[in-house]
Amino acid sequence: QVRLAESGGGNVQAGGSLRVSCVASGSFFRVNDMAWYRQAPGSQRELVAGVTRESVTNYADSVKGRFTISRDNAKHTIYLQMNSLKSDDTAVYYCYAKVQQLYNKILQDYDYWGQGTQVTVTS
């Protein structure tokens, strides 16, 4: 139905930068809110940054001033520019999207998750 494809993960040294991308594809009426979550080993999944369709953003306190989320509605794509990376940023980063789909001619919201992309920050 709907697929979220993340890309751009990899290894980076502390203080460096990395940009991850997520593209939504498939059958849907509209992609509304999208977000980046992350999960470190032994930790719970946490919200990193979110962006509405109108490009209103919010960030976790731990990444404010360092990360920037943006989106391209025409391409159904979000980006996460990560600067001044720290070892604590090491995690699997997951793309999330709230997608409007027609079900029996009724427009409803559905949640979708990508499979994740690994970001490893070395010191």
Residue-wise pLDDT tens digits, 8-61: 999 999 999 999 999 999 988 899 999 999 999 999 999 999 999 999 999 999
CA 42 remoteness from chain centre: 20
CA distance 87 to 92: 13
Cβ-proximal residues to 64 (8 Å cutoff; 6+ apart), any chain: none
- Looking at residue 57, its pLDDT comes to 98
Residue type, 10: G
For 11, phi then psi, to 5°, come to -100, 140
Tokens 């960030």 found at: 59
